[in-house]
């Protein structure tokens, strides 16, 4: 995982609707929770995505936005978002450009580790967690991020 205070690596990836998204454009509205997950439609990843969906109002009150990133393509993300009523962007990273830049590539380049970053509007990493199979650690991280919320620059 990248260290706290590090400048978050920039990227340009398509979302589930095929629109290009950059880190800079995503930070335009405030701090960001950028989470990386292994795959659409798996039990752990579905639980994680639905927890973000269910926390949407609380996240908005804390002035935080959520964006998910995984290696599946735009079409898979579109189906996943539609099936679960997700209310945040999912970015397609089939070449694992962002996955590698954020140091969440799986062992020997296989898969993606479940990692989450809190990125301030200035583009600096405020906090991070590598949860892998520990969904509870990820949930605790998100709760802490919401408590910091609007205080992040």
Q: What is the pLDDT of residues 42-55, one digit of tens each?
A: 998 999 899 999 99
What is the pLDDT, as a whole number, of residue 147? 81
DSSP state of 103: T
Q: pLDDT tens-digit profile of 87-115? A: 999 999 999 999 999 999 998 888 899 99
The mean pLDDT of 138-142, rounded to a whole number, is 76
Distance CA 26, CA 65 (A): 8
What is the pLDDT, as a whole number, of residue 133? 63
Here the tokens at position 84 are 């679960």
Does the pLDDT of residue 129 top 70, yes or no?
yes
What is the pLDDT, as a whole number, of residue 110? 87
- Which of 32, 45, 69, 81 is catalytic? The answer is 45
What is the pLDDT, as a whole number, of residue 131? 80
Distance CA 153, CA 25 (A): 16
What is the pLDDT, as a whole number, of residue 132? 72
Q: Are 63 and 150 in contact (CB under 8 A)?
A: yes
DSSP state of 85: T
Sequence-ordered alpha helix ranges (H) in the chain: 23-27, 43-54, 56-61, 74-84, 97-101, 135-148
- Residue 45 known to be catalytic: yes
């Amino acid at each position: 995982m990248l260290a706290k205070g590090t400048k978050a690596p920039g990227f340009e990836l398509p979302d589930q609707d095929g629109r290009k998204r950059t880190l800079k454009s995503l930070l335009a509205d405030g701090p960001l929770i950028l989470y990386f997950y292994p795959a659409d439609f798996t039990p752990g990843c579905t639980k994680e995505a639905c927890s973000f969906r269910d926390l949407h109002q609380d996240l908005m009150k804390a002035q935080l936005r959520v964006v998910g990133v995984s290696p599946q393509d735009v079409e898979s993300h579109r189906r996943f978002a539609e099936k679960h009523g997700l209310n945040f962007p999912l970015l397609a990273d089939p070449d694992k450009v962002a996955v590698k830049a954020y140091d969440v590539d799986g062992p020997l380049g296989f898969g993606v580790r479940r990692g989450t970053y809190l990125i301030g509007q200035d583009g600096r990493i405020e906090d991070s967690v590598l949860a892998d199979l520990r969904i509870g650690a990820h949930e605790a991280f998100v709760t802490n991020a919401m408590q910091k919320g609007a205080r992040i620059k």
